[in-house]
């Protein structure tokens, strides 16, 4: 047929030689692809063994000592996805995503970046020598030791280096927090929490992938994706056992209720939500019904107001950073709490919740608070700030 040219046979041979490093002429996978497939198969067997709670089968895939550390955690799913393999002779390192769910608590998998050291035996089979968090990735609790599990009515508490009695204490706090939050916010959330109690402040920092100095004096934090849909993974309330032990009875409950509020409001908390509102609302729920007065809850702010240093504006997000003074951070939290308390006092608790949700319907910060104030509170930012300053003088002056 016109337009065709016959290709010499030796040209085909040269072409195949040029492509041999990528794909063989017959389409067979290269050595690298084969190793990756073998490693994925190995990790699939390992994941199935973990879910089946079969320690012998886990050991059949390599190092199994860590299995005792995670074995008490109730798992609904556990799977690895290999993202890269780096081979040197009979050894290799695999990069992988671990996706797992805590049964009854996680609506979707939690993802953790992992690195697995591998070795190949004389028969050519790969096995795991060690598994660890990827570089710059946060640890999982079982990376720190054997996990003990305690279940509450509305909670599950996972701890390392903690007694069962101590973990039951946190379960009791969480079980009181969940209905308290639902009473204030409503019941359209999971209404259960996962609490992690590491051995120390350093353990907390490893779970968060940050320096311990960032959380010194912070009793607990909540992890989670803001604006997450209802089927997003469950948040984790991570406790700093060092700081928690310094709190009194009321303070311990307020902290857990505060953090539980973050879990409940997560789907309605977006990039548009300022920290004075998200933190202030969580504190408002935490102290709601305790009978504590503004002077008792906000001593640092009271001192400033009494000295004539009434804040000129609601606190910015930067004011909530951990790199400032403890007094300055306290004033920021107390200012947000007082703003939310004022809304509840003057417009009602239902309006406070509606205002929070209205701000969160926006995807960006500019104009979100102002529009929500106009629609829900029938005011503007300037008038609200002036009313808040007067409220501070009246309650704390």
**From-to residues of CATH 3.10.450.50 in the chain:** 29-137
Rounded alpha-carbon distances, angstroms, from residue 177 to 17, 168, 260, 285, 338: 68, 14, 7, 9, 21
CA distance 332 to 346: 21
Of 93-97, 120-124, 147-151, the range with the lowest mean pLDDT is 120-124
Residues of the chain with CATH 3.30.2010.30: 141-265
How far apart are the C-alpha atoms of 195 and 8, rounded to whole Å? 70
Q: What is the pLDDT of residue 319?
A: 92
Three-state SS letters, 87-99:
EECCEEEEEEEEE
The Cα–Cα gap between 112 and 40 comes to 16
| Domain 29-137: CATH class, spelled out | alpha beta
Q: How do residues 253-277 score in pLDDT, each as one tens digit? A: 999 999 999 999 999 999 999 999 9
How much is the pTM? 0.88
Condensed to tens digits (0 to 9), the pLDDT of residues 355-375 reads 999 999 999 999 999 999 999
Domain 141-265, CATH class in plain words: alpha beta
Task: Give dist(CA 263, CA 106) in Å, integer.
Answer: 12
How far is Cα 138 from Cα 317, in angstroms, rounded to an integer?
24
- Residue 388's Cα: distance from chain center in Å? 32
Label residue 233 by pLDDT band (50, 70, 90): low
């Amino acid at each position: 047929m016109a337009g065709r040219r016959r290709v010499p046979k030796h040209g085909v041979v040269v072409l195949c030689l040029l492509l041999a490093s990528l794909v063989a002429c017959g389409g067979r996978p290269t050595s690298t692809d084969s190793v990756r497939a073998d490693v994925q198969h190995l990790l699939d067997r390992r994941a199935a063994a973990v879910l089946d709670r079969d320690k012998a089968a886990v050991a059949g895939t390599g190092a199994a000592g860590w299995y005792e550390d995670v074995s008490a955690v109730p798992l609904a799913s556990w799977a690895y996805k290999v993202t890269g393999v780096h081979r040197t002779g009979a050894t290799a390192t695999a990069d992988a995503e671990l996706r797992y769910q805590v049964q009854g608590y996680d609506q979707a998998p939690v993802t953790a970046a992992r690195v697995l050291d591998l070795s190949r035996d004389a028969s050519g089979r790969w096995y795991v020598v060690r598994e660890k968090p990827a570089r710059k990735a946060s640890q999982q609790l079982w990376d720190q030791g054997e996990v003990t599990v305690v279940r509450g009515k509305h909670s599950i508490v996972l701890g390392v280096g903690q007694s069962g009695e101590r973990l039951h204490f946190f379960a009791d706090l969480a079980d009181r927090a969940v209905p308290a939050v639902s009473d204030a916010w409503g019941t359209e959330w999971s209404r259960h929490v996962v609490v992690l109690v590491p051995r120390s402040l350093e353990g907390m920092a490893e779970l968060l992938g940050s320096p311990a100095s960032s959380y010194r004096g912070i009793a607990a934090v909540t992890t989670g994706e803001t604006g997450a849909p209802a089927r997003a993974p469950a948040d984790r309330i991570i406790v700093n056992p060092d700081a928690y032990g310094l709190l009194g009875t009321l303070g311990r409950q307020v902290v857990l209720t505060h953090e539980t509020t973050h879990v409940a409001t997560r789907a309605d908390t977006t990039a548009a939500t300022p920290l004075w509102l998200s933190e202030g609302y969580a504190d408002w729920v935490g102290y709601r019904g305790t009978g504590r007065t503004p002077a008792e809850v906000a001593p640092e702010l009271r001192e400033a107001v009494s000295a004539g240093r009434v804040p000129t504006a609601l606190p910015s997000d930067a004011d909530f950073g951990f790199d400032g003074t403890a007094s300055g951070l306290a004033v920021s939290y107390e200012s947000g709490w007082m703003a939310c308390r004022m809304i509840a006092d003057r417009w009602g608790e239902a309006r406070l919740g509606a205002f929070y949700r209205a701000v969160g319907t926006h995807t960006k910060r500019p104009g979100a608070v102002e529009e929500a104030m106009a629609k829900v509170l029938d005011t503007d930012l300037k008038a609200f700030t002036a009313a808040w300053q007067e409220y501070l003088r009246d309650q704390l002056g």
